[in-house]
Amino acid sequence: MYSRWNLARNLRRFYEHGRYVHKFYPQALVGINQLETPIRPQALYDRQVSCGLHDVSYQAHHNRSFRSVEDPFSLVADELSLIAKNLREQVAEEVQNKAPKLASAAKYFFERAEGKKFRPTVLLLMASALNMPIPQSTAEEVFDTLSEGLRARQQAIAKITEMIHVASLLHDDVLDDADKRRGIESLNLVMGNKLSVLAGDFLLSKACMALADLKNTEVVSLIAKVVENLVTGETMQMTSTSEQRRSMEYYLEKTYCKTASLISNSCKSVAILAGQTAEVAMLAYDYGRNLGLAYQLTDDILDFTGNKDVLGKGVLSDIRHGIVTAPILYAIEEFPQLGEIVDQGFDDPANVDLALEYLGKSRGIERARQLAEEHATRAKEAIEALPDSDDEDVLRSRSALIDLTDRAIRRTK
């Protein structure tokens, strides 16, 4: 955890002048990993895509209808496969001979737990959603080269985001003494805490190197803030006072730092690299922020309602670790005596049973689900407010982002 904070601090010393501050939460840009060979999305085979370097008018289109998408992941499946392959092959190639155990540890989840790659999918779709048609009078080969270069940089954001995410999981599993992650044995269980921490540090260093390759000070500043937020959020969770543990505002700020900061500022980075206006970049940020909050709220609900075999981890994990989430916070509002049990902690299994009893009698789950839906609605509104476009690929990608928002809150794992 200290390593994450130290990396963020040093990066921000270089790029402090490029920092942006959000009205309610700190902004953060997400890093970059320059791809050696650009991966062209299917849309670039079918048509030329602009680099988004021109100004666009900022207006809301709340009545716009988007074409439904059968499977959002299928729109970027080829890119996701190649990005996953690059991560597996490149993430530890430099240390394969010098430190083979470190290389194996760094690649552990990339090789064993593919999953849906939710975050990279969001970022690739956001990149497509922000592309605008190019003037027909411009030489096609010029824009084709620029578009490929832009897409490679946006793909790099997706790679870097995944590396930072996995690094944070490795560190969190050590802190939580977890034995399962994504349905497989956690790295700390397989290789020990020390190597797990080093693997997370190594992934963060790879992310920083990739970030530097982008040579964009705004993006560097934001990704540094993301890493700082990850450490801040984990520390908030570990060191909260009794009053803070009962505070919904504190819970949401912690959730932003631990989960939503990464995806929101990754989305904003994609927009900045495309040369979009500040208004459009903020809409991309708002989408990611609200999607991230909705996603984590749903995770917190599933910790009480999910199935262990489906989730790939134990249910009631949070409460057994003394972590108070939205369902319990809402239940405390109805049954204040539950707050006293929270203060006592959950080392005693009887307190866990009592908390679940109060939760079952309350509207805690229902209200947490409503809050997740509110954030999901705000995420959709951000997409609907993007500048107008008649381009089919742009509209299809925006529709996919809206569909992903629904999937985030309706999932069972």
3-state secondary structure of 216: coil
Query: Residue 49 pLDDT more than 90?
Result: no
Of 1, 7, 3, the C-alpha closest to 220 is 7
Separation between Cα atoms, residue 76 and residue 155, nearest integer Å = 11
Q: How many CB atoms lie within 10 A of CB 342?
A: 21
| pLDDT attached to residue 320 | 84
Going along 111-215, which residue ranges are E strands? 180-181, 184-185
HSE-CB of 74 using CA atoms within 13 angstroms: 6
What are the tens digits of pLDDT across the range 191-226?
888 989 998 999 999 999 999 999 999 999 999 999
How far out from the chain centre does Cα 313 lie? 19
The structure tokens 């999932």 sit at 411
| pLDDT attached to residue 5 | 52
Integer angstrom CA distances of residue 323 from 255, 270, 310 = 12, 33, 21
Q: What is the reported pTM?
A: 0.79
Reading the block at residue 104, the tokens are 């194996």
Q: Length of the chain, please?
A: 413
Of 258, 265, 332, 323, the C-alpha closest to 296 is 258
- Percentage of the chain modeled with pLDDT above 90: 55
Reading the block at residue 11, the tokens are 């990066």
Structural contact between residues 126 and 287, judged by C-beta atoms closer than 8 angstroms = yes
Separation between Cα atoms, residue 88 and residue 91, nearest integer Å = 6
CA quadruple 195, 199, 205, 211: dihedral, nearest 10: -170
Query: Residue 59 pLDDT more than 70?
Result: no
